[in-house]
Amino acid sequence: MAVFTLSVNGQSHTIEAPPDMPLLWVLRDRLTLTGTKFGCGQGLCGACTVHLGGTPVRSCKTRVGDVGSRRVTTIEGLDPHGAHPLQKAWIETDVSQCGYCQTGQIMTAAALLARNPKPSDDDIDRAMGRNVCRCGTYLRVREAIHRAAGQRKEVAK
Protein backbone atom coordinates (compact mmCIF):
# COMPACT_ATOMS: atom_id res chain seq x y z
CA MET A 1 0.00 0.00 0.00
CA ALA A 2 1.08 3.53 -0.74
CA VAL A 3 -0.48 6.97 -0.47
CA PHE A 4 -1.33 8.87 -3.65
CA THR A 5 -2.69 12.33 -4.22
CA LEU A 6 -4.68 12.46 -7.41
CA SER A 7 -6.22 15.38 -9.24
CA VAL A 8 -9.55 14.13 -10.51
CA ASN A 9 -12.03 16.45 -12.22
CA GLY A 10 -10.28 19.44 -10.67
CA GLN A 11 -10.41 18.08 -7.14
CA SER A 12 -7.56 16.70 -5.12
CA HIS A 13 -8.03 13.27 -3.54
CA THR A 14 -5.62 11.45 -1.25
CA ILE A 15 -6.04 7.71 -1.26
CA GLU A 16 -4.20 4.65 -0.06
CA ALA A 17 -3.85 1.89 -2.63
CA PRO A 18 -1.43 -0.71 -3.95
CA PRO A 19 0.66 1.00 -6.68
CA ASP A 20 -0.44 -1.56 -9.26
CA MET A 21 -4.15 -0.91 -8.64
CA PRO A 22 -5.65 0.21 -11.93
CA LEU A 23 -6.89 3.78 -12.01
CA LEU A 24 -10.29 2.32 -13.05
CA TRP A 25 -10.82 0.74 -9.64
CA VAL A 26 -9.54 3.77 -7.77
CA LEU A 27 -12.11 5.88 -9.59
CA ARG A 28 -14.96 3.42 -9.24
CA ASP A 29 -14.46 1.85 -5.85
CA ARG A 30 -12.55 4.52 -3.88
CA LEU A 31 -13.96 7.74 -5.34
CA THR A 32 -17.34 6.24 -6.42
CA LEU A 33 -17.00 7.87 -9.83
CA THR A 34 -18.88 5.01 -11.45
CA GLY A 35 -19.46 6.64 -14.84
CA THR A 36 -16.17 5.07 -15.92
CA LYS A 37 -17.05 1.47 -16.76
CA PHE A 38 -15.39 -1.91 -16.42
CA GLY A 39 -15.71 -3.80 -19.69
CA CYS A 40 -12.74 -6.11 -20.07
CA GLY A 41 -9.89 -5.11 -17.74
CA GLN A 42 -7.48 -5.68 -20.62
CA GLY A 43 -7.53 -2.39 -22.49
CA LEU A 44 -9.47 -3.91 -25.37
CA CYS A 45 -12.97 -2.40 -25.26
CA GLY A 46 -12.60 1.26 -24.28
CA ALA A 47 -15.47 1.37 -21.76
CA CYS A 48 -13.04 2.63 -19.10
CA THR A 49 -11.60 5.52 -21.13
CA VAL A 50 -10.66 8.65 -19.16
CA HIS A 51 -8.34 11.56 -19.92
CA LEU A 52 -4.92 11.69 -18.31
CA GLY A 53 -3.38 15.10 -18.83
CA GLY A 54 -5.84 15.52 -21.72
CA THR A 55 -4.91 12.25 -23.43
CA PRO A 56 -7.40 9.38 -23.64
CA VAL A 57 -6.21 6.32 -21.73
CA ARG A 58 -7.68 2.98 -20.79
CA SER A 59 -7.98 3.36 -17.04
CA CYS A 60 -8.12 -0.43 -16.55
CA LYS A 61 -4.51 -0.62 -17.79
CA THR A 62 -3.26 2.54 -16.10
CA ARG A 63 -1.65 1.83 -12.73
CA VAL A 64 -2.49 4.39 -10.09
CA GLY A 65 1.23 4.50 -9.28
CA ASP A 66 1.92 5.83 -12.77
CA VAL A 67 -0.59 8.69 -12.73
CA GLY A 68 1.62 11.13 -10.86
CA SER A 69 0.58 14.75 -11.07
CA ARG A 70 -1.30 14.43 -14.35
CA ARG A 71 -4.89 15.64 -14.27
CA VAL A 72 -7.51 12.91 -14.48
CA THR A 73 -10.79 13.77 -16.19
CA THR A 74 -13.70 11.35 -16.09
CA ILE A 75 -17.15 11.57 -17.66
CA GLU A 76 -18.35 13.24 -14.47
CA GLY A 77 -15.84 16.02 -15.03
CA LEU A 78 -16.14 16.42 -18.78
CA ASP A 79 -18.54 19.33 -18.31
CA PRO A 80 -19.78 20.75 -15.01
CA HIS A 81 -23.40 20.63 -16.21
CA GLY A 82 -23.21 17.48 -18.34
CA ALA A 83 -23.67 19.76 -21.34
CA HIS A 84 -20.52 19.18 -23.37
CA PRO A 85 -21.35 19.45 -27.09
CA LEU A 86 -20.80 15.70 -27.37
CA GLN A 87 -23.17 14.96 -24.51
CA LYS A 88 -25.83 17.13 -26.11
CA ALA A 89 -25.21 15.59 -29.54
CA TRP A 90 -25.36 12.09 -28.04
CA ILE A 91 -28.80 12.79 -26.56
CA GLU A 92 -30.14 14.44 -29.73
CA THR A 93 -28.85 11.60 -31.92
CA ASP A 94 -30.33 9.03 -29.50
CA VAL A 95 -27.06 7.14 -29.65
CA SER A 96 -27.32 5.04 -26.51
CA GLN A 97 -29.06 1.70 -26.35
CA CYS A 98 -27.98 -0.14 -23.19
CA GLY A 99 -25.76 2.86 -22.48
CA TYR A 100 -22.94 0.96 -20.81
CA CYS A 101 -20.10 1.71 -23.24
CA GLN A 102 -21.20 5.25 -24.03
CA THR A 103 -19.23 7.16 -21.40
CA GLY A 104 -16.07 5.56 -22.75
CA GLN A 105 -17.14 6.39 -26.30
CA ILE A 106 -17.77 10.02 -25.33
CA MET A 107 -14.45 10.41 -23.52
CA THR A 108 -12.66 8.96 -26.55
CA ALA A 109 -14.57 11.30 -28.85
CA ALA A 110 -13.89 14.32 -26.61
CA ALA A 111 -10.17 13.73 -26.92
CA LEU A 112 -10.55 13.49 -30.70
CA LEU A 113 -12.46 16.78 -30.96
CA ALA A 114 -9.97 18.50 -28.66
CA ARG A 115 -7.18 17.89 -31.17
CA ASN A 116 -9.28 17.76 -34.35
CA PRO A 117 -12.39 19.95 -34.14
CA LYS A 118 -13.67 18.96 -37.61
CA PRO A 119 -12.89 15.26 -38.01
CA SER A 120 -13.68 13.37 -41.21
CA ASP A 121 -15.34 9.94 -41.21
CA ASP A 122 -11.89 8.39 -41.51
CA ASP A 123 -10.58 10.44 -38.57
CA ILE A 124 -13.52 9.25 -36.51
CA ASP A 125 -13.08 5.63 -37.55
CA ARG A 126 -9.42 5.79 -36.55
CA ALA A 127 -10.06 7.43 -33.19
CA MET A 128 -13.14 5.39 -32.27
CA GLY A 129 -12.18 2.13 -33.95
CA ARG A 130 -11.19 0.34 -30.75
CA ASN A 131 -14.28 1.13 -28.66
CA VAL A 132 -16.61 -1.85 -28.54
CA CYS A 133 -20.38 -1.37 -28.54
CA ARG A 134 -22.31 -4.64 -28.55
CA CYS A 135 -25.62 -2.85 -29.12
CA GLY A 136 -24.23 -1.65 -32.45
CA THR A 137 -24.66 2.10 -32.04
CA TYR A 138 -21.62 2.79 -34.22
CA LEU A 139 -23.35 4.80 -36.96
CA ARG A 140 -24.92 7.09 -34.39
CA VAL A 141 -21.60 7.49 -32.58
CA ARG A 142 -20.12 8.76 -35.82
CA GLU A 143 -23.15 10.94 -36.50
CA ALA A 144 -23.14 12.45 -33.01
CA ILE A 145 -19.45 13.37 -33.31
CA HIS A 146 -20.16 15.16 -36.58
CA ARG A 147 -23.13 16.86 -34.96
CA ALA A 148 -21.04 18.02 -32.00
CA ALA A 149 -18.41 19.28 -34.43
CA GLY A 150 -21.09 21.36 -36.10
CA GLN A 151 -21.09 19.30 -39.25
CA ARG A 152 -24.53 17.83 -39.03
CA LYS A 153 -25.01 14.90 -41.34
CA GLU A 154 -28.17 12.87 -41.72
CA VAL A 155 -28.16 9.73 -39.66
CA ALA A 156 -29.07 6.53 -41.48
CA LYS A 157 -32.81 6.31 -41.76
Partner 1 sequence: MSTSRRDFLKTAGSLSLAFCLPLDLKGAAAQAAGPASSAFEPNGMLRIDPDGSITVWATRTEIGQGVRTSMAMAIAEELEADWSRVKVLQASTAPRFGDLGITGGSQTTRSTTTALRKVGAQAREMLLQAAADTWGAPKSECLARSGRIQHPPTNRSLGFGDLVAQAAKLTPPAEPPLKAAKDFRILGKDALRLDGPDFVTGRAQFTTDIHLPGMLVASIERCPVFGGKVKSFDASAALKVPGVKKVLQVSSGVAVFGEDTWAAFAGREALKVQWDEGPAAKLDSAAIRAQFEARLKMPGKVVRQEGDAAKALPAAAKRIRATYDAPFLAHATMEPMVAVADVKPGRCMIWAPTQAPGMALPFVEKLTGLKADQIEIQVTLAGGGFGRRAMADFILDAVECSKVAGVPVKAQWTRPDDFQHDGYRPATLHELEGGLDGGGRPVAWSHRFVGPSIAASNHFPWPAEATELAGAADLAYDIPNLQVEWGQSDTPVPVWFWRAVPASFNPFVTESFLDELAHAAGRDPLDFRLQNLPKAPRKLGHDTFDPARYRAVLELAAAKSEWRTRKLPKGWGRGIAAHAYLDCGTYVAQVAEVEAKAGGGIRVHRVVCAVDCGMVLNPGNVRAQMEGGIAFGLSAALYDEITLKAGRVTAASFSDQPILLLPAMPMVEVHIVPSDLPPGGVGEPGLPPLAPAVANAVFAATGTRLRSLPLLPQALRKA
Interacting residues toward partner 1 by CB under 8 A:
1, 18, 20-22, 25, 28-30, 32-42, 44-45, 47, 74-76, 82, 86-87, 90-92, 94-103, 106, 124-126, 128-142, 156-157
Q: Tell me whether residue 66 or residue 94 sits nearer to partner 1 (CB atom).
A: 94
Pair 103, 50: CB distance under 8 Å: no
Length of the chain: 157
Pair 91, 99: CB distance under 8 Å: no
Q: Tell me whether residue 20 or residue 69 sits nearer to partner 1 (CB atom).
A: 20
In angstroms, give the least distance from the CB of 111 to partner 1. Answer: 15
Return the SS3 of 71.
Answer: strand
Instruction: Report the Cα–Cα distance between both ends of the chain, in Å, rounded.
Output: 53
In angstroms, give the least distance from the CB of 54 to partner 1. Answer: 19
SS3 helix, strand, coil % of the chain, rounded to 5? 35, 15, 45
Q: What is the pairing mode between strands 71-73 and 2-8?
A: parallel
In angstroms, give the least distance from the CB of 150 to partner 1. Answer: 18
Q: Tell me whether residue 52 or residue 102 sits nearer to partner 1 (CB atom).
A: 102
In angstroms, give the least distance from the CB of 53 to partner 1. Answer: 20
